[in-house]
Amino acid sequence: MTSARAVAMFYLLVFVTVSFFPNHTWASKSQAAIEKDEVMEHCKFNIRKGVHWPFEPSQACCQVVTRSVNLLAICNAFTAADLAQISLQRWAAITRWCGNALHEGDNCAGYIVHF
């Protein structure tokens, strides 16, 4: 009886301890990766290589750009697969157009920004 009570208390303790950890503790994305995914979704028609370049970005694209605190972190979050699809020169131009520009001389995933 005592050992059953001890086992029950152990499982209760484990349950309570685990329930205090938020789900994102184990499998979270960085803020830059989340913002990068938003850029890839909302700015895709403006930054994709090899297609007509509609220069004026959508409102959703500019919202992602203007609320970002660290555009260089987004640059660093671009994967090799992303870089094969997008133009970093266009990405830099979009940041400028939206009013939260990368700075001249910034290294954005290997592209040196110049205006």
> Angle, to 10 degrees, between the axis of helix 59-67 and the axis of helix 88-97?
90
Task: Using CA atoms of 88, 94, 100, 101 in order, give the dihedral in degrees to the nearest 10.
Answer: 50
- pLDDT tens per residue, range 1-50: 566 665 445 444 444 443 444 444 334 689 999 999 999 999 999 999 98
Residue 21 counted as domain residue: no
Q: What is the pLDDT of residues 43-98, one digit of tens each?
A: 999 999 987 876 789 999 999 999 999 999 999 999 999 999 999 999 999 999 99
Give the H/E segment covering residue 107: strand 107-108
**Residue 16 included in any domain:** no
Q: Is residue 48 part of a domain?
A: yes
Mean pLDDT over 92-113 rounds to 96
Q: Is residue 55 part of a domain?
A: yes
User: The whole model's pTM is what?
Assistant: 0.72
Output the pLDDT for position 40: 97
* pLDDT score for 100: 96
88 within some domain: yes
The total number of structural domains in the chain stands at 1
* Residue 38 CB-half CA count within 13 A: 20
What CATH number corresponds to the domain at position 67? 1.10.110
Domain residues for the domain of 38 are 30-112
pLDDT at res. 112 = 96
pLDDT confidence of residue 65: 96
100, part of any domain = yes
The pLDDT value recorded for residue 48 is 93
**Where does residue 102 fall: left (phi above 0), alpha (psi -120 to 50 degrees), or beta otherwise?**
beta
